[in-house]
Structures are given as C-alpha cells and as structure tokens.
Structure 1
Amino acid sequence: MCGGFLVAPQWVLTAAHCNGDISVILGAHDLKAVESTQQVFGVKSYHQHPDYMLVAGTPFNDILLLKLDREAKINKYVQVIPLPENENDLLKGTECFVAGWGRIDARYEGSSKLFETNVTALGRRKCLQFIPELTDRMVCAGSRAKLCDVSNGDSGSALVCNGVAHGIVSYGFQIPPSIYTRVAAYLPWIKETMKEG
C-alpha cells in the first residue's frame, strides 16, 4: 500500500516505485471503516517519469502521476494540495508534515488510521552525511527532537510545507532523516503530462 495526493481534480501524484494495479481512495481516515467521506476511483492512465530507475535498491526520479477515471468531488475531506510555484529548493529548517498509514512501531505492520508527523527540512550538506546518493532532485527531512519519521506504507505521501506539496515520500531507514522526491524539480514534467492528459 502507498499514499498519494490530489494535485488536480483528476490527477494524483505518488512515488513511481508504487506502480502496479492501483485503485485510489480519497478522503479516507480509517482504512477498516466504510466512511461517507471516501471516494473510490480506478486509474485511467499511469504516467511514470521516463527517467525513473532503481540503482542498488535506491529509487531515482521516483515520481508517478495517476489520471483518475473521473474527477474527484472537492469538499471538506477531499482537497487538492497545491504544487510549488517555482523550481526553488526547499529551505533548510522549513517545518513540514507528512500523513500516512505506514508502520508506527517495530512490531506493527501498519496503521488502519491516518497518522501525521512533523518533520523539518535538512540542508544538503547535513543530509549527504547520512545519504551519499542524495541528488538535487531529492529533499531530506526528519524530526530532530524525536525518532518519528515516515515508514513502510507511507511511500507516495506528500511532504507538505506551508500548505504546499514540496515532496513525495520516496525512502528511508526507519529513523530520520528520510528522502523525498523534490516536487519542484519536476514541475515542467508534471504540467506537460497533465496538459497532454
């Protein structure tokens, strides 16, 4: 299972390593409950970034656009998360949050309820100490105060900073920091793909 987020009424952004037979549920908060807020969709078309690749288990250009089989009904529970306005990098120290259904402790496979954690964007120099394969198309973020981070099952979820989707959960190591696909680096590809439909 992966996360994803609505970037237009008929488009979801997620991680490319989440490809496969996907159905999309928007407005869900408890996966074990049938909620009136949920909207379920099929996927009309998959648009994986052409340069996506796995190198020794590390995903690069880990971004996938899904065109839904119809437009989502935007309401209090289902919202579009805005994309960055330009290709600038996320400033170190920016406070962000991530929400998902990933594993919440070492013994537990995943959560049926949506959890949210706060993380802080880290500088590239600091991140390179932990993740030498970091590129300028990735963002590194984690929690400094406590060991809370994204985990298995959170892939594809949005890194939201100041109300904008700046990253897509790509991978991590169960302890901070984790790596996110930097959405701003792919703005031209995202816009062109959505325009071509």
Structure 2
Amino acid sequence: MLGLQKFLLLHVLAWLGQIAHGSDIIHGEKAPENSMQYMASVQNNRGHVCGGFLITEDFVVSAAHCDKDNPTHVVLGNHNLKNGNHQKIKIEKKNIHKNYKIPGLGDDIMLIKKVPLNDRVQTIQLPPAEIHLKENQVCQVAGWGKTKTVGKLVDELMVVDVSVIDKQVCKELWRGLPDNVICAGGYKTTKGFCQGDSGGPLVCDGLAVGVVSFNYYNNCSYPDKPNVYTDISKYLQWINGIVKSRKYEE
C-alpha cells in the first residue's frame, strides 16, 4: 500500500509539473475598439499581471492563482493599457474560493471588489444556471498577454476564437483533471492562450462561462494538451452569495 501511495504521489506531481497558468492570446487579432468593455486588467505596482472581467458594478472575476502576484488595482475602460484614458481603481477586497490550492486541482476563481462604473465600461452576464457546452462550439478568449511562447506582454487587447473540447477527451489528455472545468482551444490547433494573463473570460454566446486557469507548461504551440478554464456555472451560488451579501473573506 505504501508503494502504491508513493507511485500515485509521483504521478500527481509529474502531472502538476506540466501545468502553467496564463491567458496570453496566440494567433488572435486585436479586439475591435469599444468591444468587450467588460475586460479588466488586474495589476500590481509593476503593471499588468492578469486579466479579469466585470460582472457587476462592484465586482471583477479573475483566477485565484493571480493573487500570488499581489494585485493592488484593476484597470478598466480601454483596450490599450498605455493609453491614459481609462480607470485605475484600487482593490478593496479579494475573495478567493475556500477550496483553492493550485490551478491543477480546480476551484481557480477569485472575486475582486470594488469597481465603480462609467460610460466606457460594461458588465458581462454569467450563465443563469449550470451549462453544458457542445463539442466544437466556438467561443472567444481575450487578454493582454504574450502572443508567442518567448515574447512580451502586449498593450492592445487581443481576442481569438477557440472551440470547446469534449470533457472526456480532455480527461484522457489531462489525467486527474478537476470536474469543475471547461476545455477549449489548444488541442490540435495553434489558437488559444499562453502564460502571463490568467483570469480572463471564456465567452460563449455572449455569456462569460469560464475563467482562464492553466495550459501545458511553457509551450504556446499547443501540440497535445487542451486549454483549461474554471467552469463559472459551477460557482454561481458562491458568486451570488458574495455579491448579494457584500460579505468578504480574507
């Protein structure tokens, strides 16, 4: 039994070593001006570290693992991060899902509070209930990250179409895959996300259905692994409870 436990532990550690979190857009294009006005840049004192998206006047959704970069504020209202015509707003509270440990084990979601609205930003709706995406359904992912494995963050918001991958196929390719996730892009394609801009939304039919979580470690050409997102529809009760009660956890 002890030998089996050691084998399973080594298997899990090897699998987790393949993971890298991020949301940089590969083989995408610049997002049209005045589109996707719900997109948020989550930043620390050095600049952009993650993506996010505005769901109410007060709250931005991002990935829990983005907290490791100690974000201090969010930027809204402009696709170009070097353009001064945007809102830079101090983060008041961060609510990380209580079950989160590392991206590969799931629950990679965080609520950031508080963000006032102006006429240049909009919210994006979440699914009203648990969703079941169809295989090959085309969705979009956007971010300000690298456009190739060895590259720099970009100033202009980039967006790319990605196709939903069957969950069973994804589980066969990602052994030990958490249940509350969506797979889209990366596998058998050159389009998807990469390292440097986690927390952005997977948008399907106008709804934010996923949060960028992880992909194959340090490889943006996506040879054999799907991109993985946190399935927002599995966390609606948690999100709504925080938004409605205005209570926060450290």
* 3-state secondary structure, aligned to 2:55: strand
Letter in structure 2 aligned against 1:98:
V
Higher RCO by CA contacts (8 Å cutoff, separation 6 or greater): 2
Q: Which runs of 4+ in 1 moved over 4 A?
A: none
Residue 216 (structure 2) pairs with residue 170 (structure 1) = no
Gaps of 5+ in 1: none
Residue 8 (structure 2) pairs with residue 8 (structure 1) = no
Matches within 5 A, 1:68-83: 68=114, 70-73=115-118, 75=119, 77-83=120-126
How high is the TM-score relative to the length of structure 2? 0.71
Deviation (angstroms), 1:112: 1.6
* Aligned CA distance change for structure 1 residues 144 and 60 (closer, same or farther; 3 Å): closer
- Most deviating of 102-111 and 185-194: 102-111
Letter in structure 2 aligned against 1:86:
A
Preserved CA contact (<8 Å) 1:90 1:166: no
Preserved CA contact (<8 Å) 1:7 1:82: yes
- Most deviating of 12-21 and 137-146: 137-146
Task: Please give the alpha-carbon distance, in whole angstroms, between the structure 1 residues aligned to 2:151 and 2:71.
Answer: 25
Percent of aligned pairs sharing the same letter:
34
Matched residue count: 190
Task: Please give the alpha-carbon distance, in whole angstroms, between the structure 1 residues aligned to 2:139 and 2:62.
Answer: 18
Residue 159 (structure 2) pairs with residue 116 (structure 1) = yes
Q: Which has the higher helix share?
A: 2
Deviation (angstroms), 1:139: 0.4
Deviation (angstroms), 1:67: 0.9
Gaps of 5+ in 2: 1-48
User: Counterpart in 2 of 1:45?
Assistant: 93
* 3-state secondary structure, aligned to 1:3: strand
Task: Please give the alpha-carbon distance, in whole angstroms, between the structure 2 residues aligned to 1:135 and 1:21.
Answer: 26
Name the Cα RMSD after superposition: 1.7
Write the deviation string for residues 116-175 of structure 1: whole angstroms up to 9, x where unpaired.
011011111111122122222000000567402101122000000000000000011232
How high is the TM-score relative to the length of structure 1? 0.90
- Most deviating of 121-130 and 181-190: 121-130
* 3-state secondary structure, aligned to 2:244: helix
